[in-house]
Amino acid sequence: MKKVKVKLEVQYDGHSVKKNTSVDLRFKAPYSELVNCLELLQLLNCNVEVLAKINTNKPIKIGTFYLNELKVDRDGESNIKFNSESDFVELNNINLLSEKEIVVNILCVGNIEEDEEGDE
């Protein structure tokens, strides 16, 4: 197992809680964060712990998510969508993100399995 950390400077783009207790969390990242956004692809099909740092406060835990969607538009801006169940999400902390339209630093941490290459 290898621990992967991806730091991003993004803007909060909303969240939704569905009837089946599924939670979608969306962020937008500018062109300058494109390389870091592509690093998120390593975390496909992994539990990703998302932490957010607002202004100079210490990081707050948002929850444990799966990377659901990563889209890059023609301007190089990325739309990132995470999905989880409400049991694994701190909804009060997500509401802190929605209070102000500011740039948020997020840290995505996940454990990935490394492929073992054998002699063939």
pLDDT at 85: 93
> According to the model, what pLDDT value does residue 56 have?
66
Residue 101: its pLDDT value, please?
Answer: 65
The ranges assigned to domains in the chain are: 2-77+87-104
Return phi, psi of residue 40, to 5°: -60, -25
Residue type, 115: D
- pTM, whole model, 2 decimals? 0.85
> Along the 120 residues of the chain, how does pLDDT read in single tens digits?
888 889 999 999 999 999 999 999 999 999 999 999 998 888 888 888 999 888 767 888 999 999 999 999 999 999 999 999 989 999 888 888 877 666 788 888 888 777 766 555
For residue 15, give the amino acid letter.
H
pLDDT at 114: 74
Nearest to 82 by CA among 37, 9, 26: 26
Distance in angstroms (rounded) separating the CA atoms of residues 21 and 52? 22
Task: Give dist(CA 110, CA 65) in Å, integer.
Answer: 10
Please report the pLDDT score of residue 100 as a whole number: 64
